[in-house]
Amino acid sequence: MRKLNFGLLVLLTTALMGSSFAVGKMGLVYATPILLVALRFTIAGLIMALVVFLWKRPHPTDTRTWLKVVVIGLFQTAGVMGCIFVSLRTITAGESSILTFINPLLVVIFGTLFMKAKYSMRQWIGVIIGFIGVFITFGAHVDWKIGTLLGFLSAVSWAIGTLLIKTWGAEVDNWVLTAYQMLSGGLLLFGGSFILEEPQFDITTASVFLLAWLAIMASIVQFAGWFYLLRIGDPGKTSAFLFLAPFFGVLSGWILLDEVIKWYVIIGGAFIFAGIFLVNWSTQKSKKLS
């Protein structure tokens, strides 16, 4: 029964991760992209900040630690989500999710180059397989639309954010870090919205529902569910299930937006999923960074 509940929660959290791309693209009918994502994470961050305050979770007491939280928010929320939502203007939700979720592959590369981390042969094979999958997914060529570049940059920003969390995360309570990195990222996106676009949000029943879904279900519930899974299960093996997120990204784009799924996307996606799985899967014998 416990394994069944664990599996169902994995499906729920990864489905929320993946489907947020399609829901976000639907929201662009009513709002400019940076403002939409700014509202999403400012609302989510404020709610979570209130929760961790009332929960009396330990907060940082020095300015330097708070600055680290803001820097993590810059990459993990502002950089990742800003790039994703702007990318959705020119590429499909499925393409954006595939590009974004190659971040575990980039973590291995960046971790090796900049943090002298050691990874296993299995993880490097996963990186190679994953990038072969990216090549196949885009029809054995990459159509460098601005959205394609932004989708890739979202993965780069996420990989940087992941490495920063690995480096600094132990200094801050997980829940406090999640709350305030989302809030700081959301506020930074507000500034970006007024600088980079003419912010607009049409208030309708549909737009409010989509924003509420993104802020509550696809942010708070998704993060809370994922943290719970990491706590009750083996973090390395749990993270291996991230390969499901781009699958749900492609699937939700097909269901909600009628996006066409071409045969090479299915084959390339299978390679990417396998690569992510190999990179994240850990065993008792392996103590290497993953």
pLDDT in tens, 1-10: 677 788 888 8
288 in any annotated domain: no
Q: Helices 103-115 and 146-168 meet at what angle, rounded to 10?
A: 60
Percent of the chain with pLDDT strictly greater than 90: 53
257 in any annotated domain: yes
pLDDT mean over 219-227 = 87
Show the domain range for 249.
Answer: 2-280
126 in any annotated domain: yes
**pLDDT tens figures, 233-266:** 766 667 778 778 888 998 999 999 998 887 777 8
285 in any annotated domain: no
How many domains, in total, are found in the chain?
Answer: 1
